[in-house]
Copies of this chain bind each other. A is one copy, B any other.
Amino acid sequence: MSQTTVSPLAPDTIAALPALDGVRLSTAAAGIKYAGRPDVMMMVFDATADVAGVFTRSLCPSAPVDHCRHALAAGRARALVVNSGNANAFTGRLGAEATARTADATAAALGCGDNEVFLASTGVIGEPLDAAPIVDALPTLVASANGEGWLDAARAIMTTDTYPKVATRIARIDDVDVTLNGMAKGAGMIAPDMATMLAFVATDADIDAKVLQALLVEATEPTFNAITVDSDTSTSDTLLMFATGTAGARGQARLESADDRRLADFRRALADLMKDLALQVVSDGEGARKLVEITVTGASSPNAAKRIARSIADSPLVKTAIAGEDANWGRVVMAVGKAGERAERDRLAIWFADVRVAVDGMRDPDYSEEAAAAVMREPKIPVRVDLGIGQGQATVWTCDLTREYVAINGDYRS
């Protein structure tokens, strides 16, 4: 469980997140599992915020995911409460009782409905979560919430993460600048024992919940849905986005249609912020030493391109080759072949960075092993596959599969 050294792929600097009108944060050390560190985080909205969410596709989701899916129907939020140390997943009736108790107590403390309280939990699966320490911490959490707590909040939700993941962007809507702040945690794309990927984005923009949902779904596909550490899908993946609407006081007219052209810059900023967070997650992949960007072009459709890119990114043989700094394009061919999408062997071309290693279904006659080897020694490795049959393209990011990954995941529970 203890990864003590920071990933070599960590960002050089941690972004400084500005305060956001209408959002306050706080943390507490509730002793859920860890000793001597904050393990509960609260985000409070001074007034009701619009909210959107995207959740795991797992058919065995955690209790907090069940709660959020239900609460999301009303599209309104007053608080987010997140704990690390216990995922409250596969905890049956007791799990649902724990989320209900936490939501009820938070709602009572804030004077709102329990469907305005959003919850997420990350940590060990299958252990009943005792809601009492979280409920007991609520008065302190509410009282101490302030506008400066972003980085502390990002730290409180870490599990096997080796660094906190935050990002901020500014977007212009009409003539008003709005801010987007985001945080994420996750160190296996999914390491279900330390379940999982959580990400929270808040903005002061005034955007209707339905529009927010459309924007969030649209931005998820090329970002959080385009990263993979180990192909394992968590029970707990949760991405929530809150819009306080406080920019309305500065003259930003509320946006009520996803087709509104005034959203263009916000869309761009949101996609950029989510990509930033997503790459921070994959760069902290368990045991990772290489960040791999896999781009597939010339596929029969964008979906086909993405399936092929993911097949390459999920292949243990591709990932171990990259760990070994081996420009092993034969394994890339294998992964293209198993993806189940249209491919014509004799049209395939493959590059590592700008070194073309294969063309027309064969080893490139001009291929230089030394040039390819130099690419593989870098910490960031772009791989491109052109299928030569259509216009579909997609990019997926992954990391290498190292002995450290096996050690971290083979040794964790014991």
Contact = CB atoms under 8 A, between A and B. Distances in A.
A301 interface: no
A411 B314 CA distance: 19
A91 interface: yes
Contact of A232 (B126, B335, B348): B335
Interface string A180-193: 00000000101111
Residue in A56, A90, A195, A235 whose Cβ sees the most chain B Cβ within 10 Å: A90
B126 A329 contact: yes
Integer count of this chain's copies in the complex: 2
B345 A190 contact: no
Nearest to A87: B330
A125 interface: yes
A413 to B, nearest CB: 5
Interface stretch (A21-29, A161-169, A319-327, A391-399): A319-327
Contacts of A331: 125, 192-193, 232
Interface stretch (A254-262, A272-280, A356-364): A356-364
B317 A188 contact: yes
A91 B364 CA distance: 11
Given A235-B333, A334-B125, A360-B92, A317 B403 contact: no
Interface on chain A toward B: helix, strand, loop, or mixed SS? Answer: loop
Interface stretch (A58-66, A114-122, A218-226): A58-66
Range for the number of chain A residues in contact with chain B: 35 or more
Contact of A324 (B61, B191, B235, B411): B411
A108 interface: no
Interface in A189-226: 190-193, 195
A234 to B, nearest CB: 7
B362 A128 contact: yes
23 contacts: A57-B338, A57-B340, A59-B337, A59-B343, A60-B348, A90-B330, A90-B348, A90-B362, A92-B362, A126-B330, A190-B317, A192-B331, A192-B333, A193-B317, A233-B337, A234-B334, A235-B333, A320-B405, A320-B410, A323-B406, A324-B409, A402-B410, A403-B407
